[in-house]
Amino acid sequence: MTRTVTIIHPGSLGDVLLSLPAIRALRASLPQREVGLLAGREVGELLQACGEIDRLFSLEGDALASLLAGTARPRAEGPAGESLRDWLSHGDLAVGWMADPDGWLAGRLSDLGVGRVIVRSPHSADCRATHQADRFMETIRETVSAGPRARQLRLPGEVLATARMRLEAVGALRQPRQPLVFIHPGSGSPHKCSEPGLSACLAGRLQTQGAIPMLVGGPADSEQLAKVAGLCAGRPPIFDGLDLLSAGGLLAQADLFFGHDSGLTHLAATLHVQTIALFGPTDCNRWAPTGPHVTVLNGAPCSCREQGWRAVQQCRDKPCLQVPAERLAFVCRQGLQRSKGWCRGQPARNPAPCHA
């Protein structure tokens, strides 16, 4: 069996996509190894379909439970657990991006035959880098050479073809071609979302400018989507309940994406779509996607972020998420103008600045 590299990443979609430069650096520094990822099923399937990893071990299965079962063999170990054990027995390296305060996980991986083990959380206070993507790189600094050039995530042709069929079905691929804009009014937390009226106002302004606005949502966004749609004068198409690969296929067709601090915003940016990201209570200097195709917006400074997440949850005014509709529309117009000449294969050059 080919020698292997294993990456354990229990993070959410956005967090996994921020680790993609580090995953690519590991792959480039350890050629002729197959790279396996232990992560959430949907994001893992996305990266596998795009050729970023070779093997997926789903967190929704029994692979992690088997790994953490201890040295004694569990009574009923499923096929995923057996497969992971065999994979690790051929491992040259395992990287665990999670906390392991007593070193138990690192020891377990070594016991299962992995040649070298790195278990370090990029959320740890001892990481010196500011941006989360740089923190992932910091955890593997002694193992990899300089990270590879940033590049667009490339989806399979059949995924893109299916997405185009979906867009044709709602009349979004008209002739002559009109700019396509996806608006994601939700996020992993309602405390990171602007008022529905802002997204609805943007949709209306885009329509008057000849663009086709469409609403897209993740698993927890149905309520927010309904609120925005109810405020829109012209009912925009809504894409909700799609699996991650299908959602990615749609976003890849867009000329512009607007969203908050969310996994779909990171996905659009990773696909090198012109992306407008509205950040409020979370620190854009650490969590925002980067690249010349990304513009980050902020509202007024808010003290609740420094007071902790409980204060964020109790904040009612959300000044950090309030931006004038005119300003948002202007920034979107600029993004659409850039998208016409933007080469999506062009490497990202500089982190996107946070704009007050």
CATH class of 4-139: alpha beta
Q: What is the pTM of this model?
A: 0.91
Neighbours of 319 (CB within 10 A): 14
The domain ranges of the chain are 4-139, 160-355
**pLDDT digit string (tens) for the chain, length 356 residues:** 799 999 999 999 999 999 999 999 999 999 999 999 999 999 999 999 999 999 999 998 877 777 766 544 444 445 566 689 899 999 999 999 999 999 999 999 999 999 999 999 999 999 999 999 999 999 999 998 766 677 999 999 999 999 999 999 999 998 888 999 999 999 988 889 999 999 999 999 999 999 999 999 988 899 999 999 999 988 899 999 999 999 999 999 999 999 999 999 999 999 999 999 999 999 999 999 999 999 999 998 887 877 777 888 888 888 899 999 999 999 999 999 998 743 343 333 333 434 43
- Per-residue pLDDT reduced to its tens digit, 176-206: 889 999 999 999 888 899 999 999 999 999 9
CB 44 within 8 A of CB 53: yes
Nearest residue to 113 (alpha-carbon basis) of 91, 81, 80: 91
Token output for 31 = 């050629």
- Per-residue pLDDT reduced to its tens digit, 201-253: 999 999 999 999 999 998 889 999 999 999 998 889 999 999 999 999 999 99
- Between CA 335 and CA 256 the distance in angstroms is 7
Angle between helices 325-341 and 196-208 (to 10 degrees): 50
Domain 4-139 identical in fold to domain 160-355: yes
Q: Does the domain formed by 160-355 have CATH 3.40.50.2000?
A: yes
With tokens 């940033």, the residue in question is 150
* Helix (DSSP H) and strand (DSSP E) numbers for the chain: 15, 12
Prior bond to 347 cis, omega within 30? no
